Amino acid sequence: MSNNPHSHSYQARESGYREKALKMYPHICGRCGREFIGKRLRELTVHHRDHNHDNNPEDGSNWELLCLFCHDNEHQRQVDAHYATSDAGKGGAAKTTHKAFADLAKLMGKGE
Ligand SMILES: [Zn+2]
Ligand SMILES: [Zn+2]
């Protein structure tokens, strides 16, 4: 006789975090502070603070409710930071004016 206590699989767990987050938090965007009611609730999305969609702790500590716009911005910031290459300062090899030096030398070498 085999009685299996592990009859339930938790395969629906991953897709259920949005509903959990919506139950847990007020329906307000964490960035712009707009409130989303009724149909507009679809515009409110669950952002993962550490950007790891597999990290879904039950206490919701990795979730943040953001509207589509702010969510986009949040991820855009990451991209911007990644591609921000600040190599200004090269190509400054301007010709040194030899004339100026020559004039200066003349002035300096005045006294015999
Ligand atoms: Zn927002
Ligand atoms: Zn996100």
Ligand 2 centroid from CA 4, angstroms: 39
- Put simply, whether the predicted model's pTM sits higher than 0.95 gets the answer no
At 50-63, the pLDDT tens digits run 999 999 999 999 99
Starting from the CA of residue 66, give the closest ligand.
1
Q: What is the pLDDT of residues 7-50, one digit of tens each?
A: 444 444 456 899 999 999 999 999 999 999 999 999 999 999 99
Closest to 30 measured CA to CA, from 16, 14, 46, 41: 46
- DSSP assigned state of 28: B
Ligand nearest to the CA of 51: 2
Give 34 Cα–ligand 1 centroid separation in angstroms.
Answer: 6
Domain 14-81 CATH class label: alpha beta
Give SS3 for 78.
helix
